[in-house]
Amino acid sequence: MILSMTGYGRGNGTYNNKAYVVEVKSLNSKNTDIRVKIPANLSDKEFSIRKMVQDGALRGRIEVIIGIEGESSNGDFTFNAALFKTYYEELSKITVEMGIEKPDIFAAVMRIPAVVNSGGSIVSEEEWEAVQALIEKALKGLESFRIDEGFVLAQDLGARVANIKDSIPKIAVYEQTRAEKLKEKLKKNFEDFFVSEKVDQNRFEQEVLYYLERIDITEEKVRLAQHCEYFMSQLNSSDTQVGKILNFISQEMGREINTLGSKAQDSDMQQIVVYMKDELEKIKEQLANIL
């Protein structure tokens, strides 16, 4: 089972007239990048929140937003008048010294942290437990979203890998005719080059066989088929973090397909190789969304 790296989860509930809303959003990222936006009363819990999210969301660019709706302002709103005056006076002096006209100092000071603090009281253990439950609910929602998206991605990836594997026997159809065409082409080139000399037929056959051995694609076909089977086994495994493994397998598939293309020397075979490359590029694009 694979999981999508993108997803969304939400948890909401009330505690003592406070309506908490927790949202967890996840986007593609090679590394874990957690961004937290929380009320001031939960500032001392930021590390714990990050730990919960990292354990629950695993990997990706994760944004956590915790808000309080309909909160009572009694006892939870503070205005530091002394600090406001200090900032205002100092900024006013600077604006005069620098000749800044009509600065909106009042609004600027009001945005300074610690001047105005809403919801700054420390939460009790009971309230923190309630918030934790909402975070866990949001993380479960995120996981459910990722599972649904992962199922769709797995179907698409499986179909494209099957297309590549099914294309391997199609290449074999043109191998015999390719050998005949190359033999005739080499023979003509020899005859054109040695116009006045007789070509040793035995020597010529040996050179043709040597050349055909160098462009033989049997090993590439076998390895590509094995890579496709391994890809599918990992795709259908119970592990939920196979994105990096699938990326590695897709790179190995690309090596074999590129070698097939360089050895093909046949227009019909090249068309099949181009189709394989196109499917592989789409696979790599989708793998960027896999956890």
Q: 155-191 pLDDT, tens per residue?
A: 999 999 999 999 999 887 787 777 677 767 766 666 6
Closest CA to 142 of 45, 30, 23: 23
Radius of gyration, CA atoms only, the chain: 33
Count H helices, E strands: the chain? Answer: 9, 6
Computed over every residue of the chain, the mean pLDDT equals: 83
Q: What is the mean pLDDT of residues 248-268?
A: 89
Q: 23-46 pLDDT, tens per residue?
A: 999 988 878 889 999 887 888 888
Query: Distances from the Cα of 14 to the Cαs of 20, 39, 71, 164, in angstroms?
Result: 6, 15, 10, 53
The span from the CA of 60 to the CA of 91, in Å, is: 42
The span from the CA of 99 to the CA of 27, in Å, is: 46
- The pLDDT value given to residue 74: 46
Closest CA to 17 of 70, 55, 57: 70
Q: What is the mean pLDDT of residues 121-140?
A: 89
- The pLDDT value given to residue 195: 55
The torsion of the CA quartet 240, 244, 246, 248, rounded to 10 degrees, works out to -160
CA atoms within 13 A on the CB side of 221: 17
Q: Read off the tokens for 118.
A: 């809403």
Percent share of the chain, pLDDT over 70: 81
Does the pTM surpass 0.85? The reply is: no
Does the pLDDT of residue 206 top 70, yes or no? no
Closest CA to 226 of 289, 161, 286, 284: 161
Bridge partners of 116? 79
Most confident of 89-98, 164-173, 263-272: 164-173
- The pLDDT value given to residue 211: 65
Does the pLDDT of residue 72 top 60, yes or no? no
Does the pLDDT of residue 118 top 60, yes or no? no
User: How many Cβ atoms sit within 10 Å of the Cβ of residue 29?
Assistant: 13
**Sign of the C-alpha dihedral computed for residues 67, 15, 120 and 63 taken in this order:** negative
On whether the CB atoms of residues 13 and 133 are closer than 8 A, the answer is yes
